[in-house]
Copies of this chain bind each other. A is one copy, B any other.
Amino acid sequence: MQTAKNEIQIVKIGGNIVGDKKRLEAFLLHFAAIKGKKILVHGGGKLATEMAEKLNIPAQMVNGRRITDEPTLDIITMVYGGLVNKKIVAVLQQYNCNALGLSGADINCIRADKRPVTDLDYGFAGDISEVNAKQLIALLEAGISPVLCPITHDKKGQLLNTNADTIASETAIALAEHYKSVLTYCFEKAGVLENVENEDSVITHIDSSKYKQLLNNGIISEGMLPKLHNCFHALENGVDRVCIGNEKMISEQQPTFSLLTL
């Protein structure tokens, strides 16, 4: 995967890659080899859950969603902001990619608002209010590759837990004014599947009309719905194209993946 001079690649890796040391190292080798400007966004998968269990901090779930109380935020900050982020940066540096680990607080690069309490209090969960494109562009133009962990801040001293998919899409949108912005989601499957149980059923191209058709047919699995929504939100806000697939997308010559365009 090559990047033209005026292009920015924003690549998000999912928890199943982050949590698998061998798979992560293979991915990072290929990420480092991407030419041109690039940003990596990572989650932390089950590592935070495992740490919470070790520390006997019970996961607070409401309607299947994790509530970020203060001990949970501390764990996320330790595991995602510290352990995962710094290890990724060290490996990328080994491969001569000039990586710089960032939370949203660092150089105030992603500001968020604490999610308002309605019938549900999500705790220290943050919804992005501003991506600081100017600071990120300055880094990118200096040859630095930001590595973003899924933590933001409110500029009032509070760190906040923020979805990594959303960090990737909002960052891609914020940079789309300055670059041809290409957003890539790497996860455990080869793409958006026609049949969730058949890895060979990757839908290779989804445009707006195909997306509506898929929604109407009820073909897209529940887990995929918010991801696709995120993708089309990005496309509608200036992102050039979105790719969804597994990590082979950035290493193979003729990979299979889903290409999303308007």
A100 within 8 A of B: yes
Across-interface contacts of A79 in B (CB, < 8 A): 78, 82
Q: Nearest residue in B to A56 (C-beta to C-beta)?
A: B54
Across-interface contacts of A155 in B (CB, < 8 A): 93-94
Are A90 and B138 neighbours in the complex by a CB distance under 8 Å? no
Question: Could you name 5 residue pairs across A and B whose Cβ atoms are closer than 8 Å?
Answer: A55-B55, A74-B83, A77-B83, A89-B103, A93-B157
In the complex the two chains form, what is the Cα distance from A108 to B55 in whole Å? 32
For chain A, the bracket of interface size reads: 35 or more
Q: Which residue of B77, B83, B144 contacts A86 across the interface (Cβ within 8 Å)?
A: B77
Chain A residues with a Cβ under 8 A of chain B: 54-55, 74, 77-83, 85-87, 89-91, 93-94, 98-103, 105-108, 138, 142, 144, 151, 153, 155-159
8 closest Cβ pairs, A-B complex: A82-B82, A78-B78, A94-B157, A81-B82, A90-B105, A78-B82, A89-B105, A90-B153
